[in-house]
């Protein structure tokens, strides 16, 4: 009798203009035990992100124009579902593999997201969220978006996250479907947390030694944080409406 294959997880890496970092990130993620498929979603890059990711061993899906992180995550999840059982070893039924979402700019430190996988594969959690140490370079923000996100999640679910905007997550298919369609843009992480918790599923935060490129204090960084604030506020507002709250 043939022994069943061990369960596996598919990694999805949304990326835009990450040609300098994507090869190291893909290489690190491919080395994580249990990961047998790495999908990079090139979200309208104008550099060589797609070509470099493919050369590093990732499957690549491209958006002709930038559509935002939530759309890239959804595209990646759809690609995984369509290719279950076509390539690589699959230890779970088609379309049911957990998804490991990884930011494209982590480079070699992306290997450390491995700690997110066991709890989901073993059924102890439906979603794990990485909590990061202080970064090598300080960001230029003042914590407005983090406080908005944390308060909003607590108000709606009772859960107080340490790092509500963390993008590194391992998510069961049940949890991903509970949060679909995903909140738009930079509100995606807040929406995921709220929707998964309100579905009665289990969420765990896991310390993870990760380092990424932080937004600075220049005008580009300020614009980025303004967009984050807008998208998080919109995600929270829509979920308050669903709950009959103001």
Domains defined along the chain, listed by start: 9-139+161-215 (3.90.550.10)
Phi and psi angles of residue 23, each rounded to the nearest 5 degrees, phi first:
-65, -45
pLDDT category at 37 given cuts 50, 70, 90 is very high
Stretch among 29-33, 104-108, 156-160, 216-220 having the lowest mean pLDDT: 216-220
Stretch among 40-54, 125-139, 153-167, 214-228 having the lowest mean pLDDT: 214-228
What is the spatial distance between Cα 41 and Cα 50, in angstroms, rounded to a whole number? 8
Phi and psi angles of residue 240, each rounded to the nearest 5 degrees, phi first:
-65, -40
Question: What mean pLDDT is predicted for residues 72-84?
Answer: 93
Strands 169-171, 127-131: parallel, antiparallel or unpaired by DSSP?
A: antiparallel
- The whole-number pLDDT of residue 87 equals 45
> Other CB atoms closer than 10 Å to residue 222's CB: what's the count?
14
What is the spatial distance between Cα 202 and Cα 204, in angstroms, rounded to a whole number? 7
Position 197 pLDDT exceeds 60: yes
pTM of whole model > 0.85? yes
pLDDT digits (tens, 9 = 90+) for 122-146: 999 999 999 987 755 555 456 889 9
- Least Cα distance to 206 among 238, 168, 242, 232 occurs for 168
- The whole-number pLDDT of residue 2 equals 45
Copy the structure tokens of residue 236.
Answer: 């929270």
């Amino acid at each position: 009798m043939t022994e069943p294959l061990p369960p596996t997880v598919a990694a999805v890496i949304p990326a835009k203009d990450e040609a300098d970092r994507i090869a190291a990130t893909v290489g690190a993620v491919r080395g994580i035990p249990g990961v047998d498929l790495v999908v990079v979603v090139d979200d309208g890059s104008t550099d060589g992100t797609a070509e470099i990711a493919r050369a590093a061993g990732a499957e690549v899906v491209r958006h002709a124009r930038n559509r935002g992180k939530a759309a890239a995550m959804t595209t990646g999840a759809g690609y995984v579902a369509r290719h279950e059982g076509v390539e690589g070893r699959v230890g779970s039924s088609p379309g049911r593999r957990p998804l490991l979402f990884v930011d494209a700019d982590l480079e070699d430190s992306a290997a450390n997201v491995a700690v997110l996988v066991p709890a989901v594969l073993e059924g102890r959690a439906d979603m794990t969220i990485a909590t990061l140490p202080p970064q090598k370079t300080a960001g230029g923000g003042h914590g407005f978006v983090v406080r908005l996100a944390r308060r909003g999640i607590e108000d709606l679910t009772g859960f107080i996250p340490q790092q509500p905007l963390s993008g590194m997550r391992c998510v069961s298919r049940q949890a991903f479907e509970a949060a679909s369609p995903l909140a738009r843009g930079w509100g995606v992480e807040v929406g995921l947390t709220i929707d998964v918790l309100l579905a009665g599923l289990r969420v765990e935060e896991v310390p993870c030694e990760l380092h990424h490129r932080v937004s600075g204090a220049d005008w580009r960084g300020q614009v980025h944080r303004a967009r984050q604030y807008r998208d998080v506020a919109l995600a929270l507002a829509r979920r308050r409406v669903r709950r009959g709250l103001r």
